[in-house]
Amino acid sequence: MGKCKKCSQPATVYLVRHKLSLCAEHFIDFMEGSAKKTIKKYKMIYPYEKIAVALSGGKDSATLMHLLDSIYGETLELIGLHIDLGIGAQDYSKNSLERAQTLCKKLNREFMVIDLNKEYQISMDIVKEKENRFSRPYCAVCGTFKRYLLNRYSLNLGCEKLATGHLLDDEVSVLLMNIINGNIDQLVRVGPNLQGNNSTLITRIKPLYEISELETTMYTQIMGLGFQEGECPYSLGASTSAYKTLIYGIEEKFPGATMKFLQRFHKMLLPPLKAYYQGTEGVKLNQCSECGGPTTEETCAFCNIKYLLTRNE
């Protein structure tokens, strides 16, 4: 590994795609600098905003919260939002909640739990039990819950934006999945800064957009951040995992390929796609007849799922 490129001290990490050896101190500087660059590049955050941070209890969201706290300090109001999904297997939800709560307490940041069972009388355990009622995969149902609840509670708390821990690997895998499956219309809905109307739809930002999973793993280890280490016990066989495995193989053989792909997509493909879809009628958002939330149909996906779970057979 050799010496640190910045100070000639023994290197702690080696970043293959950057061909960069760094000591622990300069790796932390590198991570903060990468997040700052991404935030500035995509105009994500301004001082004294109130931002909800989606905290799953995992390493990526822990890295996100810690970096935002380190970079902005008291000039940014951060609220950790955690969803208790009610996954009892391996005490997954219990451990995730403890990790998210401990981090916010350590950073002296506000923390809020959204308990799916207490608030809506449903849980992911119930979804697993009644999965024959759904045409969509288990993970897709979970994703619907997260998007709905994080949006709703961020707005209720008066936040300007919702920050999520999506990484370079996540974004490239979603792009690749949509391209392979021919979901071209979905490509205009991805990106680092997704503008909402802040009445029914919160603006969503991804400060870790150009940071890899390997880098967040090293950051949590060096900073001593506790996180939920195990994978969701219900995520085995998820389609996104297959695409991530494919990406890891490409990145191993061609370091930096995922970043090049993402950058070229934004520069060459996204502008004409946006121009085309903005030139059409586009997607019209309605208010859900049940909850008043944003939807393209009469009833939103969350309310439809809730009905399927709670109906009597």
How far, in Å, CA of 107 to CA of 53, rounded?
13
How far, in Å, CA of 119 to CA of 142, rounded?
16
Which of 12, 115, 15, 108 minimizes the C-alpha distance to 65? 108
How far, in Å, CA of 265 to CA of 187, rounded?
10
> From the centroid of its chain, how far is CA 304?
24
Residue type, 221: Q
Q: Over 60: is that where the pLDDT of 41 sits? A: yes
pTM of the prediction?
A: 0.93
Mean pLDDT of 197-201: 85
Q: Over 80: is that where the pLDDT of 238 sits? A: no
110-156 tens-digit pLDDT:
999 999 999 999 999 999 898 888 777 888 899 999 999 999 999 99
pLDDT of residue 279: 60
- Tell me, which fold does domain 27-270 have in CATH? Rossmann fold (3.40.50)
pLDDT of residue 188: 83
Helix/strand/coil percentages in the chain, nearest 5:
55, 10, 35
- Strand ranges across the sheet with 161-163: 110-115, 77-84, 50-54, 161-163, 203-205, 193-194
252-310 tens-digit pLDDT:
999 999 999 999 998 898 888 888 876 654 567 889 999 999 998 999 999 999 999 98
Q: Over 70: is that where the pLDDT of 237 sits? A: no
pLDDT of residue 155: 96
Q: What is the mean pLDDT of the chain?
A: 92
Unique residue bearing structure tokens 């707005």? 155
**Residue 88 pLDDT level (bands cut at 50, 70, 90):** very high
Residue % of the chain over a pLDDT of 90: 73
Q: Are 267 and 278 in contact (CB under 8 A)?
A: no
How far, in Å, CA of 164 to CA of 60, rounded?
9
Helices of type H across 15-137? 24-41, 59-72, 92-107, 116-120, 124-129
